[in-house]
Structure 1
Amino acid sequence: MANLEHVNVTVSDPKATAAWLGAVFGWTTRWEGDAISGGYTAHVGDEGSYVALYTPNMAIKDPQHSYTTRAGLNHVGVVVDDIDATEARVKAAGFKPHNHADYEPGKRFYFDDHDGVEWEIVSYA
């Protein structure tokens, strides 16, 4: 059995993204500091897995549509116990949920963060 440990996403402000990830999912910053090419990274998650939030030491270009870009990150899926409470926290963080669905094996919705990263929230409860 293999487990996904982390994903690494380029964002405009790792500390700001870490703050809303903590508010929405209850995650904490496991580590932060200098990274490749003079950039900065924050690892945010729990004891088992995390999202590495990286920003380079240069201007970041606007993202292209991920579904038409080779190796594009289409979305990050997060499983939660209480989808309604999570959706309330997503809204409180200033994001707009969309594409709600309720089908086997669970309920889900999506939202786009301020960097254009799409997040899928899923509950199997």
Structure 2
Amino acid sequence: MPKGQLEHANLTVTDPDRSAELLKKLCGWHERWRGPSQLGGWTIHVGDETTYLAVYTNEKAKGGYTKGTPLNHVGLLVDDLDAAEQVVVEAGLEPFNHADYEPGKRFYFFDWDGIEFEIVSYAGDGQ
């Protein structure tokens, strides 16, 4: 059987610079690439050496998106849940639905474009 892993996901946002900065602070990632999209618009890739999120925009992005059509949320694993929550709060975003169940502690937040993120830590005390 083949073995796979997520290489990237592409999210449409209204302000890719703002979204990229949040992801860099939240996950300790770096900017891998930025430039024009092949199909128009602008993209910034933020991640590590093997995995990243592409934050993309174009003129149609201003129209907004609705949760669940088709994406429900993006889950990100962090090593320090409390520090990650502080980054979210400092960005002016509101964490909610804090929970502790296997396989870890978590909270959720919506970014400026209505994309829901689940932030998870497998560490026993959230850090």
Cα drift, residue 59 of structure 1: 5.4
Cα drift, residue 58 of structure 1: 4.1
Residues 21-100 of structure 1 mapped to structure 2, 5 A cutoff: 21-58=23-60, 60-66=62-68, 69=69, 72-100=70-98
Distance, in Å, in 1 between the alignment partners of 2:58 and 2:39 is: 7
Question: Which letter does structure 1 place at the counterpart of 2:20?
Answer: A
Against the structure 1 CA distance between its residues 45 and 59, is the aligned structure 2 distance closer, same or farther, given a 3 Å change threshold?
closer
Against the structure 1 CA distance between its residues 59 and 98, is the aligned structure 2 distance closer, same or farther, given a 3 Å change threshold?
closer
Runs of 4+ off more than 2 Å: 57-60
- TM-score of the two chains, using structure 2 as the length reference: 0.88
Q: CA RMSD in A?
A: 1.3
SS state at 1:15 partner: helix
Residue 16 (structure 1) aligns with = 18
Structure 1 residues 59-113: Cα deviation after superposition (integer angstroms, max 9, x where no partner)? 53221231xx3xx111110011111111111111111100000112210100000
Against the structure 1 CA distance between its residues 28 and 102, is the aligned structure 2 distance closer, same or farther, given a 3 Å change threshold?
same
Question: Which letter does structure 2 place at the counterpart of 1:5?
Answer: E
Would you say the 8 A contact 1:39–1:57 is kept in 2? yes
Would you say the 8 A contact 1:24–1:93 is kept in 2? no
SS state at 2:4 partner: coil
Where do 5+ consecutive residues of structure 2 fail to align? Answer: none
